[in-house]
Structures are given as C-alpha cells and as structure tokens.
C-alpha cells in the first residue's frame, strides 16, 4: 500500500455518500470520509450507535458505499472480532478468496466508556481489525452529556458550568495509553486538521497484523458551541496548543508526528468554544491552571516516552 505525500494524492473516490443528516461542519463526518479514502480493497465497517450511525442511516436511506453493520454502544469491538474470525473460517472452508479488512467506528462514549470492556477483550485476543474512535468529547447523540473523553473544565449538560461546578472537574482518559498497555502493534492519534497524516496512519493500521487503534479528534459544532465554518481551525488549534498531541506508537516505539514550532496559548483554543468560555473568567482561573498542568504533564510524558523508546 502506498502512502500519501500531498493533498493531490488523496483518492477522489467517496465511500460516505451525500445526503446524510450529520451537521454542517461535523468533525466526525470528515473523519469517516478521510478514513475511507485509506482503504485498500473490500472493507466491512462496524459502526457503534452514535451520531455517525444515527445520521447516516435514517430508514430507508443509507449513505455508506461499503458493507456496513450497525451494533450497540457496548459491543462494536466484539462484533468486529466475530466478523474477523468468521472470515477466517470461510477462507479455511472454501479456500483463499477475496481479502476483507474490518474497520470499526465508535464515538468517545462508545469507546472510552460503554465499549471499553469489549475493546479491551478484543485487543487482548489480538483480532486483526482497525478500531477508530471519533472523539467529539461527549455523548453528543443523546444530549451532550459528559464522557470519559470530556476534557477538564468543559461544560456539558451533566457537568454544567454554573454556581455549583465550573464544568467537568475530572481529567480526560488517555485512550492510547490504555490501548498500548495491551501490547498491540499499532496505536495513534490523528486529526482532521492534518488529513495526510490521518490517511497514512489508517493505511499503516490496516497493514499491520493484529489490532490497531486510532484516536481521532472530531470537533462538534453543537456540543462545543462554535461556528461550523471553523471546524478545521478548532481541530488545528487543539494540536498547536498541545491539548491534543499527534503521535503514534508502533511496536512500543513512540513518535510525535507533529511538534508545533511555536506552542500557541491555550486560551486561543478555548475562546472559540462556548463550552470553555467560563474558564476565561477570573473566578475559574484555578481550573484553567489545572487544565494547563494536565496538558504540560501529558506533553512532557510523550517527549520522555519518545526519547526512551527511540532505540527499540
């Protein structure tokens, strides 16, 4: 499989067709379009319940141009495991035929929280599929409730910024660290702001033998409360302010793929989003400082891991 070098090299074939009901400026919609541009041949998509599933398959319409299976929040990885093993049995029974790749799409709620047990089991067993988490940092499909992926300080309907609490008080889970702890061959973060990096990582994930996990940031205009026209700008600022670093872990070796030449102030990212505006008030400076500390600790940890594993 070849890797993309320039925007002009990105395949023009579309596998997520027009007419779906995802919002204007939807980050996860862009994720799906880019991921499917990386496929190498016949592909089966397993899609957990969530924004993408609900808005792309409103009966009797379907926007998918590949075989597609809808499953529950909690069992996407388990169903994908079954498909992978069923394909092996069919190949053994009828001889070698068409090779199918299996890609899973799950939101942060269906990955960080509800589906984490099934994902962990599948990674431990070593099934050969690619798991994509499109992360819009809350349960957007059911009312913008906080999830394990919601950053510290973000306002949601279940962690509202007000007199009692100034948004979510807990820090975000580290999904890639959880995946890497299973000893899988490939795990990475990616962003719609860097489409070449994203597509190449999906291609690398498809090529590896065994499970691969990609954690892709997908800004949400409704839940994050920003102008739909700046979705990609918001995603880029997440990396430029280090709140969402772009890196990969291949056979235990860490590599930071995008190191901003100049790290931008976190406030530039926060001020574009209604969910964070309260953090810019003087009385909430203590929580903003905690968020900044989280980000700095995360970045320094990645730098140390990259250095420590460089010789692997």
| Domain coordinates in residue numbering, the chain | 10-308
Q: Is the pLDDT of residue 97 over 80?
A: no
Query: Helix or strand or coil: residue 278?
Result: helix
- Quote the CA–CA distance of 295 and 193 in Å, as a whole number: 19
On whether the CB atoms of residues 188 and 245 are closer than 8 A, the answer is: no
Query: Which ranges of 95-194 would DSSP assign to H, the alpha helix?
Result: 108, 116-125, 175-180
* pLDDT (mean) for 297-304: 98
Q: Note the pLDDT tens digit of each residue in 140-185.
A: 999 999 999 999 999 999 999 999 999 999 999 999 999 999 999 9
CATH 3.40.50.970 at 10-308, yes or no: yes
**In 10 A of CB 23, how many CB atoms?**
17
**In 10 A of CB 90, how many CB atoms?**
12
Q: Note the pLDDT tens digit of each residue in 42-74.
A: 999 999 999 999 999 999 999 999 999 999 999
Q: Determine the pLDDT at residue 95.
A: 79
- Residue 190: band (very low, low, confident or very high) from pLDDT cuts 50, 70, 90: very high
pTM: 0.97
Q: Using CB atoms within 10 A of its CB, is residue 244 exposed (0-12), middle (13-18) or buried (19+)?
A: buried
């Amino acid at each position: 499989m070849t890797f993309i070098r320039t925007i002009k090299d990105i395949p023009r074939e579309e596998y997520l067709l027009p007419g779906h009901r995802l919002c204007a400026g939807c980050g996860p919609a862009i994720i799906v379009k880019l991921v499917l541009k990386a496929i190498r041949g016949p592909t089966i998509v397993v899609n957990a319940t969530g924004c993408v599933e609900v808005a792309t398959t409103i009966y009797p319409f379907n926007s998918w141009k590949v075989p597609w299976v809808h499953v529950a929040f909690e069992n996407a990885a388990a169903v994908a495991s079954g498909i992978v093993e069923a394909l092996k049995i069919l190949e053994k029974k009828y001889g070698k035929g068409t090779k199918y790749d299996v890609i899973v799409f799950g939101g942060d709620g269906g990955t960080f929280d509800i589906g984490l047990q099934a994902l962990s089991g599948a990674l431990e067993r070593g099934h050969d599929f690619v798991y994509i988490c499109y992360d819009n940092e809350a349960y957007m499909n059911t009312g913008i409730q906080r999830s394990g992926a919601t950053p510290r300080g973000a306002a949601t309907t279940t962690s509202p910024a007000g007199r009692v609490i100034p948004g979510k008080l807990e820090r975000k889970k580290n999904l890639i660290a959880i995946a890497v702890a299973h000893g899988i061959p490939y795990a990475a973060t990616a962003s719609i702001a860097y489409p070449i990096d994203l597509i190449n990582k999906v291609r690398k994930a498809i090529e590896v033998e065994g499970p691969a996990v990609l954690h892709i940031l997908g800004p949400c205009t409704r839940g994050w409360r920003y102008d739909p026209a700046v979705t990609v700008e918001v995603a880029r600022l997440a990396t430029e302010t280090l709140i969402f670093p772009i890196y990969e872990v291949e056979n235990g070796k860490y590599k930071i793929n995008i190191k901003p030449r100049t790290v931008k102030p976190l406030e530039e990212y926060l001020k574009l989003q209604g969910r964070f505006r309260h953090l810019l008030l003087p009385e909430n400076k203590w929580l903003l400082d905690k968020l900044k500390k989280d980000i700095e600790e995360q970045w320094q940890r990645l730098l140390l891991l990259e250095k420590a594993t460089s010789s692997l």
